[in-house]
Structure 1
C-alpha cells in the first residue's frame, strides 16, 4: 500500500510528540526513583514500580504523546489557525485538561489492577483511585503531564514556524557545514499584486495573503515540495532533485495549486471581491546549502540557479505565459502525455553570457477540468 506524501508528512510530524513524552517520562521516573530511594517509601497512593508496571507506564505515556501529537496536528492546528495566541493557549489547555482527566481515569485503575493482580472492577482498585485523586501523587502526575505538554506544544509552534524539515536539519546538524546539492526551484508570483494591495488596503491584503498561502499549501505537500521563502506575494518552492522530477512533481505542483485555488474562487470573490492568479518559473541546478545568520539562524541556499529562475519568472509577462521551465529541466521530465509544450524564443538572461532555451507548459484539458 502506497503512503501519500500528506500522510507521511503528518506521521513524521506526530512521531516527535511520542519521543518527547517518552523522554520526559524517563526523566521524571528517574527523579522520582532517586527521591524515594527505597521502594518501601512509596506513598500509599502511588503505584510501586515493577518491570511490568514500568513497561506499561512507558508504553502508555508514549501513546499519550502520539495522541496529543495527532490531536494537535490533525485537529487543533486547523481549528485555531486564525485565532490569537492567547485564545489558542487557553482553549488548548481546557481541551487537554479534559483529555488528561480521561487518560488518568482509564490508565490508573488498569495500573493498580496490574500491581495488585486483581480485576480492574475490584472495589480496592477504585478506593485507591479516589485516594490518588486527593494525593500529592496526583498533583505530581498533573505537573509531569503539564511539562511534557508544554515542551511538545513548544515543539509544535517552532516546527510550524520554521518548517518541519528545517527544524529537523537544525537538530541533526545536516547543514552545519555547507554542502553542495542539486535542487529544483519554482518561483511563484501573484499577478497584479500591487493593484490588489491598493484596492484591499494593508490589513485586508494581509488576510488575503494568509488565505492565499494556506490554500496553496496542500498542493505543495502533495507533490513533496518545501517552501523555502515567502517574499511578499511571491513563494519560492524547492525540491530535492529526485523528489522534484519523480512523477513530474515540480510541474504537477503548479497545476494542483491552480486547481485548489479555483475550488475556493467563490469564497475569494465573496470575501475580497478578487480572485488571485499566479505565474511561475521552474529551473534546477547546483546550490550550496548551509546554516547562516548571526542574530537569526536559517537554512540558506546560494547559487546561480536562484537568480536564473527569478529572471525566467520575470519573462512570464512578456510571453503571457503562466508557467515557463528551462530546457535543462525539461530533459529530465516526462511531459508527453498530460501536457502541451511550446518552445519560446531563445533568451539571454540579464547577467548571463549564454542564452537559455525556455518552454511554456500547459496542462491538456485544464480548462475543462476547472
Structure 2
C-alpha cells in the first residue's frame, strides 16, 4: 500500500496512524458513556446525542480525522517547534494549543451531529438550542475531559515515540524481542573526527549543543536510507539495518555519503557558530546477532554478536589507512558497487582482540 512512498513518508505515516487509533477508541468510549448516562437520566436528555448508526459513523470519521490532524501537526510541525523544550514543557504548551483547536472543532462538529440526529437544517432553531444547551451542560464538560484525555494520551505517545524511537517503541509494545531472536544485520560505526580537540575548544555546554545540532543534521539521511539508530555513544553513532534493507540499493553505503553531503551543506553554519567544519569516519560490517530486551532498571533493545566488536575494530583503522569509510570485503561481496564507487583493498588485517584476520576495503564516491 505504501510502496510508492519514500522511507521518510512511510515513517511519518506509521507515526501518525496511532494518533487516529487513540482518538477513535476514546471517542467510542465517550459516546458509550454519554449514551449510558442519558438513558439512566444522569444527564439532560435534551443535550445528549443519542446513538444510532449515522451518528456513530459520523463520530467515528470525525474523531479519526481529528486524530490524523493532531498527528500531522505533531509529526510535521510541532515536534520541530518544541524540539528543544523539556518533556513537561512540551506537554503543557502543546496541550493548550490543541485544547483551543478542539474547542473550535466542537463548535463545528456538534451542530452537524445534532442536525443529523434531529433530521433538520444545520442552522435551525432546534439545532442552535441543542448546541447552546450542550455548551452549558455536564455533557460538554465530560466531552472536554474525554478529549483532554485523548490529547494527553496522544502527547504522551508522541513523547515516548520521540525519545525511544518509533520502531523501538513498537517493538516494546508488540513484544517482538521479548524472547531473544537471531537475525542478520549490517552495522555502521560512525565517529566524529578530532572530537577530543573539539570538546576542549568548545567546553562541555557548547560541545553538548554542537552534538545536538550534529546528530539532528545526520538524521534525515538515516531515515531516507531506512537505517535505525541503535546507540549514541558520546560522539559516535551506531546505525543498523536488517540485511535486506541495508543491501537494497546500497542503502548502507549511500547513507554514509548522504550524511556527508548533508553535513557539508551545513559547514557555513558550524563554522560561524562553532569555528570549525565537522567531519567523520565510519566502518561497516555485517553478521549474525542475537536481539532481545535487556535490563532490570531500564529496558533496551540490545544486540549481541561478534559483528559489533569487529565493526568497531575496523573503524579504528580509518586513520591508519587514510580512509573515511572502511568496510569488510565480506560486505562488499554482498553489495552491488558500480562505477560510481571507488574501492581500494587494504589487504587483510588482524584486528585487535581477534584471532582471525579480515580483508578491509576503502570506499569512496567517484
TM-score, structure 2 normalization? 0.96
User: What is the CA distance between 1:351 and its match in structure 2?
Assistant: 2.0
Give 2:50's match in structure 1, choosing from 42, 48, 51: 48
User: What is the CA distance between 1:38 and its match in structure 2?
Assistant: 4.6
CA distance in 2, matches of 1:87, 1:38: 41
How big is each residue's C-alpha offset from its partner over 1:38-78, in whole Å with a ceiling of 9 and x where there is no partner?
58965322211111101111221121111111111110000
How big is each residue's C-alpha offset from its partner over 1:233-273, in whole Å with a ceiling of 9 and x where there is no partner?
00000001000000000000000001111111111111111
User: What is the CA distance between 1:294 and its match in structure 2?
Assistant: 0.4
Match of 1:280? 282
User: What is the CA distance between 1:185 and its match in structure 2?
Assistant: 0.2
Structure 2 vs 1, CA of residues 352 and 84 (structure 1 numbering), >3 Å: closer, same or farther?
closer
Q: Does 1:63 align with 2:65?
A: yes
CA distance in 1, matches of 2:47, 2:272: 59
For the Cα contact (< 8 Å) 1:39–1:48, is it kept in 2?
Answer: no
Give 1:112's match in structure 2, choosing from 106, 111, 114: 114
SS of 1:238's partner is strand
TM-score, structure 1 normalization? 0.95
Displacement over 6 Å in runs of 4+? none
User: What is the CA distance between 1:31 and its match in structure 2?
Assistant: 3.0
Match of 1:302? 304
User: What is the CA distance between 1:97 and its match in structure 2?
Assistant: 2.0
Structure 2 vs 1, CA of residues 41 and 198 (structure 1 numbering), >3 Å: closer, same or farther?
closer
Match of 1:88? 90
Where does the alignment leave 5 or more consecutive residues of structure 2 unmatched? Answer: none
For the Cα contact (< 8 Å) 2:183–2:290, is it kept in 1?
Answer: yes
CA distance in 1, matches of 2:125, 2:266: 57
Moved more, 77-86 or 308-317: 77-86
User: What is the CA distance between 1:221 and its match in structure 2?
Assistant: 0.1
What pairs up with 1:249-288 in 2 under 5 angstroms? Answer: 249-288=251-290
Moved more, 302-311 or 55-64: 55-64
SS of 1:83's partner is coil
How big is each residue's C-alpha offset from its partner over 1:189-226, in whole Å with a ceiling of 9 and x where there is no partner?
00000110000000010000000000000000000000
CA distance in 1, matches of 2:289, 2:328: 17
Moved more, 85-94 or 125-134: 85-94
Match of 2:358? 356
For the Cα contact (< 8 Å) 1:216–1:260, is it kept in 2?
Answer: yes
Structure 2 vs 1, CA of residues 171 and 206 (structure 1 numbering), >3 Å: closer, same or farther?
same
**Count of matched residue positions in the alignment of Structure 1 and Structure 2:** 364
Moved more, 88-97 or 106-115: 88-97
SS of 1:81's partner is coil
Match of 2:171? 169
User: What is the CA distance between 1:331 and its match in structure 2?
Assistant: 0.7
Moved more, 18-27 or 65-74: 18-27
CA distance in 1, matches of 2:47, 2:105: 17
User: What is the CA distance between 1:86 and its match in structure 2?
Assistant: 4.7
User: What is the CA distance between 1:138 and its match in structure 2?
Assistant: 1.2
Where does the alignment leave 5 or more consecutive residues of structure 1 unmatched? Answer: 365-370
How big is each residue's C-alpha offset from its partner over 1:317-350, in whole Å with a ceiling of 9 and x where there is no partner?
1111100000111011111132111111310112
Structure 2 vs 1, CA of residues 296 and 28 (structure 1 numbering), >3 Å: closer, same or farther?
same
For the Cα contact (< 8 Å) 2:318–2:326, is it kept in 1?
Answer: yes
Match of 1:368? none
How big is each residue's C-alpha offset from its partner over 1:266-301, in whole Å with a ceiling of 9 and x where there is no partner?
111111112211000000000000010000111000
Match of 2:230? 228
CA distance in 2, matches of 1:165, 1:40: 44
User: What is the CA distance between 1:127 and its match in structure 2?
Assistant: 2.6
Once superposed, what is the RMSD of the aligned Cα atoms? 1.5
For the Cα contact (< 8 Å) 1:42–1:48, is it kept in 2?
Answer: no
Structure 2 vs 1, CA of residues 123 and 31 (structure 1 numbering), >3 Å: closer, same or farther?
closer
